Amino acid sequence: MIRIPFLTRRLRDYSLEPLSANDSPAIATLHQEDFHRPWTDGEFASLLEQDTVFGFVARETGRRAQAPVGFVLARLAAGEAEILTIAVARAHRRQGLGWKLMDAVLRELHRERAEALFLEVDEHNAAAIALYRRFGFSEVGKRPNYYQSATGASGALVMRRDLR
């Protein structure tokens, strides 16, 4: 039998919910996939216990009991917000999930009447930089040798988006 891949491929949909400290072990596992210095579940739990920190977790729709496939964590204090981290599991990328997670943060910040959103991103992280630029972030600074890894150091771009 001949298989036609585009007909058999299942389209995925995702639902988001607010992150809670209970999600810490699962999101720490996701974080390990991509970050040279992954954060532990204890670090995530203590961040999520802070009043200023919030985030969203994504699961495939209809698979509530399944492990998260993406998450975003942000902090809002005195009108200024920051993306602390965002990650989408490799098998779920380029399907609009990073966009959905960032959009959820922006909606929450608009509700809270925040003024600006900042983030730091590795200058070589083309995927994340493309995502942020599509959201209207622009570069406002650079921190040389900010990220250290086994292959050397790289700089961080500081990006900002006005929310007013």
Ligand X SMILES: CC(C)(COP(=O)(O)OP(=O)(O)OC[C@H]1O[C@@H](n2cnc3c(N)ncnc32)[C@H](O)[C@@H]1OP(=O)(O)O)[C@@H](O)C(=O)NCCC(=O)NCCS
Does 121 engage in binding with ligand X (CB under 6 A)? yes
**Smallest separation (angstroms) from ligand X to the CB of 23:** 16
Does 128 engage in binding with ligand X (CB under 6 A)? yes
Does 88 engage in binding with ligand X (CB under 6 A)? yes
| Token output for 111 | 């509700």
Does 134 engage in binding with ligand X (CB under 6 A)? yes
Compute CA distances 80 → 108, 121, 132, 162, whole Å. Answer: 13, 18, 17, 10
Does 34 engage in binding with ligand X (CB under 6 A)? yes
Does 93 engage in binding with ligand X (CB under 6 A)? yes
Crossing angle of helices 41-48 and 24-32, rounded to 10°:
130
Nearest to 96 by CA among 15, 157, 3, 154: 15
Closest-by-Cβ residue to ligand X is: 98
Does 37 engage in binding with ligand X (CB under 6 A)? no
Q: What are phi and psi of 144, to 5 degrees?
A: -65, 145
Does 99 engage in binding with ligand X (CB under 6 A)? yes
- Can you say whether residue 48 is alpha, beta or left, with left for phi > 0 and alpha for psi between -120 and 50 degrees? alpha
**Smallest separation (angstroms) from ligand X to the CB of 87:** 4
Cα distance between residue 30 and residue 20, in whole Å? 15
Does 125 engage in binding with ligand X (CB under 6 A)? yes
Nearer to ligand X, 114 or 131 (CB): 131
By CB under 6 A, name the binding residues for ligand X: 34, 86-88, 93-99, 121, 125-128, 130-131, 134
